[in-house]
Amino acid sequence: MSCNLIARLRGGLLLGALGVLVGGAVAPAVAAPAPTSAAAPAGSGHAQYFEHYEGTQTCIACHRDEAVAFFGSQHYQWRGEAPGIVNAHGQKLGKINTINDFCTNPEASWIGLTRNSRGEVLSKGCSACHAGLGELPVPEESPAQLANIDCLICHAAGYNRDLYPKEGGGWQWRPVLWKNQVGLDSVAKRISMPERKMCLRCHAGSGGGPNFKRGDLEYALADPPPELDVHMATTGNNMQCVDCHAGEDHRVKGRGTDLAGTDAPGPRLTCDGCHGEAPHGVPALDAHTARVYCTTCHLPTFAKVDPTDMVRDWSTPVYNEEKDKYSAAITLQGNVTPVYAWFDGTTVAQLPREPARLGANGRVGMMLPHGTKADPGAKIYAFKLHRGKLPVLRDRRWIIPIVVEEFFADGEIDRAVKSAAKQFYGVDDAQYDWVDTDRYMGLFHEIPPATQALGCLDCHRPGGRMDWQALGYDGDPLAKLMVEKAGP
C-alpha cells in the first residue's frame, strides 16, 4: 500500500470505503446498548433449615434433585456430550478422558500430597479443582457419588477446604473448619448463587498458577475496575459469571472454543444474545458482525494483570531452587496480542488413541478452530495460541499424558511419561518421541470500555494485526477496494 493511500485512509476515505465494502452508508456513532446490570447474587440464610452442617448429606436432605442434576453435569463428571468436536463420533469427552498441553490429564494425578525434599507440600492433586470431596467421578449414579459432591465450594463464599487423610487410607477434601462446628455452621448457612470469587477459585488458577491457562480469567476479576472488565466491574455492571453462563439443572452455558464437552448442547452462548447483531449504530461497523466476532475488536490484549502461560515444554524439566520444585519449561507473557482465525463454533481435537496429526506447520493441533472464509457460518475470532511439547508413542503415535505430581518432586520426566503410558494406555516401558503442539483458546472475558476497542487502522494497514493471507484473502480487502475506488 502506498504512502498516498495511507494518507487518504487517514484523511477520511476509510469510512466511506468501509461503507461500500460492507454495503451500507456510514452513520453517526451511537452508544451501544448496555448489558443487563446484575447485582451480586443474593445470599439465602439457611439457618432455619438445619442446625448443624454435617457434610453433603445436610444439603441432599432438601436438595436431592439438585444433587442428581449436578452429578450429571460437566462440573462434576468432567466429561459430557461433545457436539462441538467434529471428530468426537458420539463419544462423551472432557477433561477426565482427554489430554491437554498444560497438566495433560487429571486421572493419574487425582489426589494426594506431593512433597519436596524439605517436606513442603508442592501439590495436592488435580481434584483440588473438582467440585467433589476426593472420589474420582464415575458415570454411574450412586449414594457414594452423590455424597462426594461438595456443594459449598460453589455456594458458600466463606468456605475453604484442605486435604486430609481418610481413616483406612486415602485422601479426602474437608472444610478447614471441620473441627470447629460453630464456625462451619456459620459458613454453611451463608448460601448464595455462585459469585465471581467462587468461580475464580478454580478457573483463575487452572493450569498450575494464576491465569496460567485461560489468559482472560484472572483473580483480579473478583473485584475488577471497568478498565479491566466493563461487564464485571464492581462499580459498574457488576455482572456475575452466572449471569451469562447459568443454564437449567446445574448446567453451564458456553464451551468457548477448546473445551471438549458441553453442558448445554443447542444455541451457542454469544455476545449478540444481549447486545444484538447491530449494536454500534454505524452500518459499516455493524456489518462487520456477520464475519467478525465481537471480541476480535473489543479485546485488544489479554493477560492484563497476571502473565499467562504461552509455551509449555514438558521435554525440558526446569528446577526452581527457591520452591525446590521441578516444572516444565514455561514461558509466561503479559499484555498479549491475540491471534486471529476463522471459527464456525466447532473444533477439531487431537484425541487419545488417535495417531497424532501433523499440520502444515509440522505441529500437532490439540484443539484447532474449524471454519474458513468460505463458510458463511464462520467468523474471525480472537484466540490465545498456546504452544506445547508433549510425548507421543513411537509406534502408534498416540499423545501420552504425564504423571505430573511425582515429576514436580523428582524431575524424572522419563519415569513420569512411562508411568502415564502404563496407566492411560496399558503400555509397559513406553518408547516415545516429543512433538510440538498448538491449542487455540477463545478469548471472551476482560472486555475493556468500548473506547479502547480496536480502530480501523489496527487491522487495515501494512503490518496490522490481521494476517490476511492466512485468513484466506489475497490481501487487505479494504485496501483492494480502495485501490479500485481510487482508479488509475
Q: Residue 122 and residue 130: Cα distance in Å, rounded?
A: 18
Percent residues over pLDDT 70 in the chain: 90
What pLDDT, in 10s, does the model give residues 453-462?
Answer: 999 999 999 9
Residue 6 lies in a domain: no
Kindly give the pairing relationship between strand 325-333 and strand 339-343: unpaired
DSSP assignment of 13-81, as one string? Answer: IHHHHHHHHHTS------PPPPPPP-PPPPEEE-TTT-SS--SHHHHHHHHHHHHHHHHTSHHHHS-B-
Q: Is the full-model pTM beyond 0.95?
A: no
Residue 225 lies in a domain: yes
The pLDDT value given to residue 264: 87
Around Cβ 283, how many Cβ atoms within 10 Å? 17
Phi, psi of 434 (to 5 degrees): -115, 140
The pLDDT value given to residue 42: 52
Average confidence (pLDDT) over 396-424: 97
Query: What does pLDDT average to over the chain?
Result: 91
Domain residue limits at 214: 53-454
Binning pLDDT at 50, 70 and 90, where does residue 17 land?
very low
Q: Which residues contact 78 (CB under 8 A, 6 or more apart)?
A: 94, 95, 96, 106, 130, 137
Residue 14 lies in a domain: no
> Are 284 and 22 in contact, with CB atoms under 8 Å apart?
yes
DSSP single-letter state for residue 198: H
Residue 180 lies in a domain: yes
Q: Which residues contact 7 (CB under 8 A, 6 or more apart)?
A: none
To which H or E segment does residue 442 belong? strand 432-442
The pLDDT value given to residue 30: 36
What pLDDT, in 10s, does the model give residues 202-213?
Answer: 999 999 999 999
Binning pLDDT at 50, 70 and 90, where does residue 45 land?
confident
The shares of helix, strand and coil residues in the chain, as percent rounded to the nearest 5, are 30, 20, 55
Residue 350 lies in a domain: yes
The pLDDT value given to residue 44: 66
Q: How many domains are there within the chain?
A: 1
Q: Residue 486 and residue 483: Cα distance in Å, rounded?
A: 5
Residue that is written with C-alpha cell 444474545 in the block = 273
Residue 45 lies in a domain: no
pLDDT at 438 over 90: yes
DSSP assignment of 410-424, as one string? Answer: H--HHHHHHHHHHHH
Average confidence (pLDDT) over 120-142: 97
